[in-house]
Amino acid sequence: MPKDRRYYSDYICADTMVRLVRRPKSADLLDGFLVGVGSELAMLHVLDDHAMTLNGHAVVRCRDIRWWRPDTSFMSRALRLLGRAPVAPDGVELDDWPSLLRWAAARYPLLGIEDEFKAPGCLRIGTIRKLGKRALRLDTVGPDARPGRTLRYPYSDITCVSFGDGYSAALAKLVAHEAADPAPAP
């Protein structure tokens, strides 16, 4: 992200999508609406271009953004026509990972954590067990909605945090349902 906030302030909570290209090269491109920028982190309301809907939020480190640009394709106009507008969550803190994670954990049952340098393409979903001084502990949940391992993530390694998307919301409902009714599935 450019150091000069004036360069991108016109796009925060605007009706124009942006595309972010980030480090490392294997990191996913992110398309969506820029809904917040803090001293360290930037938040997008993410586009699911297959369903033409907005699907959760992703928060990335500003220092990892190699370049970004407004998306001039038809998608911003089509979403507006469909009545789908970006939402900037209230009270979100984008100055550091611990603040953001504390805020998100209080509002979303499951969070997605990525370390795209050490584990490209690997999204860990779970609940935060502990936010320490230098790292968090994440109680992971597998795609089968069963508890996984507890993982330690140093804040310095986290490249993306996601929440509020359809997949993690459905997984959270299944986890809650199976916890209430532990009978094995047929």
Instruction: Indicate the pLDDT class of residue 178, thresholds 50, 70 and 90.
Output: confident
Domain residue ranges of the chain, discontinuous segments joined by +: 1-91, 96-186
- In the predicted model, is pLDDT for residue 112 greater than 90? yes
Tell me which residue of 106, 90, 109 sits closest to 43, measured CA to CA. Answer: 90
Instruction: Indicate the pLDDT class of residue 3, thresholds 50, 70 and 90.
Output: very low
Instruction: Give the mean pLDDT of 5-30.
Output: 78
The domain defined by 1-91 folds into: SH3 type barrels. (2.30.30)
The domain defined by 96-186 folds into: SH3 type barrels. (2.30.30)
Q: In this predicted structure, what is the pLDDT of residue 173?
A: 96
Whether 47 contacts 17, CB under 8 Å: yes
Same fold, 1-91 and 96-186: yes
The region of weakest confidence among 62-66, 75-79, 80-84, 182-186 is 182-186
Q: Which two tokens stand for residue 148?
A: 């996984």
More confident residue, 182 or 101: 101
Enumerate residues 6+ apart whose C-beta is below 8 A from 81: none
Residue 145 zone, left/alpha/beta (φ > 0; ψ -120 to 50; rest): left
DSSP string, 6-42: HHHHTTTT-SS-EEEEESSTTSPPEEEEEEEE-SSEE
Q: What is the CA radius of gyration of the chain?
A: 17
pLDDT digits (tens, 9 = 90+) for 130-166: 999 999 999 999 999 999 999 999 999 999 999 999 9
Instruction: Give long-range contacts, CB 8 A cutoff, 24+ apart: 33-39.
Output: 33/86, 34/8, 35/86, 35/87, 35/88, 35/89, 36/12, 36/88, 36/89, 36/92, 36/94, 37/1, 37/5, 37/8, 37/12, 37/62, 37/94, 38/93, 38/94, 38/95, 39/94, 39/95, 39/96
Coil, helix or strand at residue 144: coil
Instruction: Give the mean pLDDT of 170-176.
Output: 95
More confident residue, 178 or 140: 140
Tell me how far apart the alpha carbons of residues 145 and 82 are, in angstroms, rounded to a whole number: 33
Instruction: Indicate the pLDDT class of residue 2, thresholds 50, 70 and 90.
Output: very low
